[in-house]
Structure 1
């Protein structure tokens, strides 16, 4: 187990909450409770090796940037030149001691095209000596009181750097960073969000159009399923509609294929036309949130397949993953939301009470997403080793990037 590494990734967003990149995080697969902290170079190297060899940067980050934590040893090593510089931002630790040699090394790396980011920045930290070489500075919203944080953000305005608020974990944190006009955000508020203001969830205009065109062209069922799998709002509305009393069915439907077959192309086309008229391009949910939900869905489907479950179970696993964020998306209790959609009992059990056969799959998915210490035990329960898990996780991330 000890020589395997999991890779976490956390979205980095611009001020419009659009995804600009991911911070890649090293996760040891060892038992975190008894694990000794990793030497920084080992952790940095593992992230690089995983990103490069096991996963491939295209798969992992698509067309986005990768923020990679680097310590002193890593900065000086030749490993870095193996990375695609225009796609990589080197996140330099605050407590690094920049001597002349290190400063010229950072200057050289920047000349190659690497982005330079100063993590957990303050003018008191040793890394402040690198400010003239930085493209990004990350400001930890939890590291200081509100007034010093505001003063720091204001002082940095006169430098040509992109200011990113990090460790944003609540609406208050987000509000503070937004009011200060920071250029970007990072934190559990987005990737593992608490709440977003109550909103009506709108299907993506482009996906609705895409589906209408596919139906008009009499496209194969799997092409239609693919679009539905990539849009949380559309799939929620479709399953709610098809399971509503209006559709007059005696059975509960949770697979897109079944839903489309039951409705038929003509009825689905009419329903989508209605959706298009009532949709609102500006009410879309935050892209990072949609992406998290779809990644969960795909990962759960792959985990179910890998552990030998049948097609129905895999379809339902996808729905569980996708709908596991509905309470955050709607900013409503899950129980209240599920009153509006008729789903099979075992899906309801896991979404409401974390009970039933889908629960271990959801727990493992969340542990991977959040880098929880019980990750290895949860994987073992499903009979999966770290390498299998990494491959499935990567495949899920890649699938979402391709949508």
Structure 2
């Protein structure tokens, strides 16, 4: 029942991931489903509430999970670890005394409480002393109304989270207003202040990506580029020695790594490392999303029996956020890479099979289940298989991210 879940990052003011909101395909409004409490059901929930553990899906950060009235009253929160879960009350939950009593019990059990889509309705006033985080939907209330209420919420030691933040301007506006957390995909869009040339170091990385994305691959050329960058060489060795990548033998030298991996895998991994270095001043979540997209599109390409060398699906997913990583328009960035025309067309949102793969990945990120159903039919792959492949991509992306970005920030804990 709970195998189907999407996640959306919740960022702090430094654009580091604080937590993930988990969104279930089954259940009203992406909530923890309302079901009758009995011993058998409780055991199923406790042992199998997700195909992946919460810690795998949320990268060992906190998980925000929506709860309806019945799930709150039936104490289903107790099946989840209060150290890793924030209990989120959706706006459709009635503000009744029995729900208030349930929230008090949940709070006493050590859980953090969040109020979703808060629109400053007085019916929630009696809940505010119990609430740790208020999620303000920036589309439901105008900026002036929100600004007038911020100080009152802050006096109650409530952490403020701005939802549906889709632009960098909105992020900075609500950050200046006193918001601590932000949810929306503003960080995945380019913030272009003025047109500027890429620095020489990043041009070299683009050159490396050209080598890995091209149809003719030169080990000598790649080796020469890597030898000039000690940090990149170290990252490659560290990456290949990761147990999620290599379980057979230890790689001891750069040349050994190149020979061991072989052309196809090496093309992918070099692209990952170059991308990681290109985005070293950007939110780590951008690289993480790129990795998950890349692996998912590759797995989906295999499931559809595509025969591409190098795997086009992988490169489409990996390069899909280059505009945000480089703060440049995507067409300009794509034109610098001598990649296959089909890959370019997919990155530029032109119709085709690769664009469908990328669209499915984006549907998972936004929990757009209706679009996922339609695209599943279009490519002839069952939804259950798509969820399975996306779960695999999440696990792979977690392992790779920790390798190329060992100082990935841990979740903060608000008092």
- Counterpart of 1:333 in structure 2 is 329
Cα 1:265–1:320, aligned 2, differ >3 Å: closer, same or farther? same
Give the 3-state SS of the residue equivalent to 1:367 in structure 2: helix
1:195 aligns with 2:190: yes
1:269 Cα deviation from its structure 2 partner: 2.0
8 Å contact 2:86–2:111 — kept in the other structure?
A: yes
Give the 3-state SS of the residue equivalent to 1:63 in structure 2: coil
1:59 Cα deviation from its structure 2 partner: 1.8
User: Separation in 1 of the partners of 2:154 and 2:228?
Assistant: 52
Higher mean displacement: 75-84 or 348-357? 348-357
Give the 3-state SS of the residue equivalent to 1:109 in structure 2: helix
User: Separation in 2 of the partners of 1:51 and 1:13?
Assistant: 28
Q: CA deviation digits over 1:207-230, x for unaligned, max 9? A: xxxxxxxxxxxxxxxxxxxxxxxx
Task: Give the superposed CA RMSD.
Answer: 3.6
- Counterpart of 1:213 in structure 2 is none
- Counterpart of 2:56 in structure 1 is 59
Cα 1:78–1:349, aligned 2, differ >3 Å: closer, same or farther? same
User: Separation in 1 of the partners of 2:30 and 2:361?
Assistant: 26
User: Separation in 2 of the partners of 1:84 and 1:330?
Assistant: 38
Cα 1:111–1:242, aligned 2, differ >3 Å: closer, same or farther? closer
Match of 2:168 among 162, 166, 171: 171
8 Å contact 1:67–1:88 — kept in the other structure?
A: yes
Cα 1:287–1:335, aligned 2, differ >3 Å: closer, same or farther? same
User: Separation in 2 of the partners of 1:274 and 1:339?
Assistant: 24
8 Å contact 2:298–2:313 — kept in the other structure?
A: yes
User: Separation in 1 of the partners of 2:29 and 2:184?
Assistant: 24
- Counterpart of 2:240 in structure 1 is none
- Counterpart of 2:255 in structure 1 is none
Q: Which runs of 5+ in 1 are unaligned?
A: 29-36, 204-232, 244-251
1:254 aligns with 2:213: yes
Matches within 5 A, 1:83-162: 83-162=80-159
User: Separation in 2 of the partners of 1:331 and 1:312?
Assistant: 29
The normalised TM-score by structure 2 is 0.73
Give the 3-state SS of the residue equivalent to 2:316 in structure 1: helix
8 Å contact 1:40–1:71 — kept in the other structure?
A: no
User: Separation in 2 of the partners of 1:26 and 1:131?
Assistant: 26
User: Separation in 1 of the partners of 2:232 and 2:102?
Assistant: 59
Cα 1:8–1:41, aligned 2, differ >3 Å: closer, same or farther? closer
8 Å contact 2:20–2:58 — kept in the other structure?
A: yes
Give the 3-state SS of the residue equivalent to 1:358 in structure 2: helix
- Counterpart of 1:8 in structure 2 is 6
Match of 2:361 among 360, 365, 390: 365
- Counterpart of 1:394 in structure 2 is 391
1:119 Cα deviation from its structure 2 partner: 1.3
- Counterpart of 2:254 in structure 1 is none
Cα 1:124–1:319, aligned 2, differ >3 Å: closer, same or farther? same
Cα 1:78–1:108, aligned 2, differ >3 Å: closer, same or farther? closer
Cα 1:259–1:128, aligned 2, differ >3 Å: closer, same or farther? farther
Cα 1:129–1:51, aligned 2, differ >3 Å: closer, same or farther? farther
Give the 3-state SS of the residue equivalent to 2:11 in structure 1: strand
User: Separation in 2 of the partners of 1:184 and 1:103?
Assistant: 25
Give the 3-state SS of the residue equivalent to 1:340 in structure 2: coil
8 Å contact 2:24–2:32 — kept in the other structure?
A: no
Higher mean displacement: 362-371 or 152-161? 362-371
Give the 3-state SS of the residue equivalent to 2:8 in structure 1: strand
Matches within 5 A, 1:341-380: 341-372=337-368, 373-380=370-377
Higher mean displacement: 90-99 or 67-76? 90-99
User: Separation in 1 of the partners of 2:329 and 2:377?
Assistant: 32
1:17 aligns with 2:15: yes
1:91 Cα deviation from its structure 2 partner: 0.9
User: Separation in 1 of the partners of 2:117 and 2:352?
Assistant: 42
Give the 3-state SS of the residue equivalent to 1:374 in structure 2: helix
Cα 1:78–1:262, aligned 2, differ >3 Å: closer, same or farther? farther
The normalised TM-score by structure 1 is 0.75
Cα 1:165–1:259, aligned 2, differ >3 Å: closer, same or farther? farther
8 Å contact 2:2–2:49 — kept in the other structure?
A: no
Higher mean displacement: 108-117 or 98-107? 98-107
1:241 aligns with 2:208: yes
8 Å contact 1:67–1:89 — kept in the other structure?
A: yes
8 Å contact 1:202–1:283 — kept in the other structure?
A: no
User: Separation in 1 of the partners of 2:328 and 2:177?
Assistant: 29
